[in-house]
Structure 1
Amino acid sequence: MSEGDKRVFISYAREDRIFAHQLGELLKQRGISVAGDLDTAFGSDLSAGLRRQIEDATALVLLIPSQTTANRNSIWFEAGAAKALGKPVLAVLPPGRDAGSTELPTDLAGLLVLDADRRSLDSVADTLVHAVPAEQRQIIAAD
């Protein structure tokens, strides 16, 4: 199994954009394909573009937004969509964010959360590389 068969969608709030880019770059350096709106323009069909990227990903990396984040419902929606599609959701608490000041929706509350204040960014990326599943390819046998 090559790491190239692993693709993540990073779901994040605008306030976490810099951290999302840093984490995305480390994952790319480790052979993981990264999607999200990090560097993609969808034009007028943003929701369809995001949906395609979530469908194409093998996992979603959720950067947990703060309670005051304006678009946090969009982030929860993306995570819920990934779960509905059977994709693992891997949660990361961005640096400087107090775990007590965040709240996960009940359907996501059981997630293991990687705290970027308690681990180095390299350690977070390494853990994610191991947690992201590779694409399952179907092999059809000829009769």
Structure 2
Amino acid sequence: MISILIVLFMVTLIPAQGNVCKSDVDCGAGECCYIPSRFLVLSRRRAAVDAVGVPLEPLDFTHQNGTCEKYRILGETCYGLEKMNGHCGCSPGLYCKFYPLEVMTIQPVLFHPQPAAVSRRSMLPGHSQCEQINTA
């Protein structure tokens, strides 16, 4: 009896995958169809396999399916690049707003840390969340 309960508990921990889709029409209300990016990352390993002459399966994207994914709601954490990568992102009428981390202006007298330099590759500290688009 305990083993059955453990199995049922473990099944509830597995995240449910959304419905298979080809477009947003195939998904329910509050969802969109996430189709993984069609851009390929080429690697040295693949180039080496091609040079040896091992036949590779042809890549066919004409029958690519996606997964239904829920839109993010007002106030929910979002990521600025998720829509560019095909994810749903914020619900229609919302946008992903970045809130930079506020810098403390008053510092203790004995502690003078060097200010963090933001380089081209580093990210500004802060968070993003879905906010209402102002039409006024």
Q: Same fold (TM over 0.5)?
A: no
Q: Give the number of the structure whose residues are more often helix, by fraction.
A: 1
Asked which structure has the greater RCO (Cα within 8 Å, sep 6+), the reply is 1
User: Rg larger in 1 or in 2?
Assistant: 2
TM-score normalised per structure 1? 0.22
TM-score normalised per structure 2? 0.22
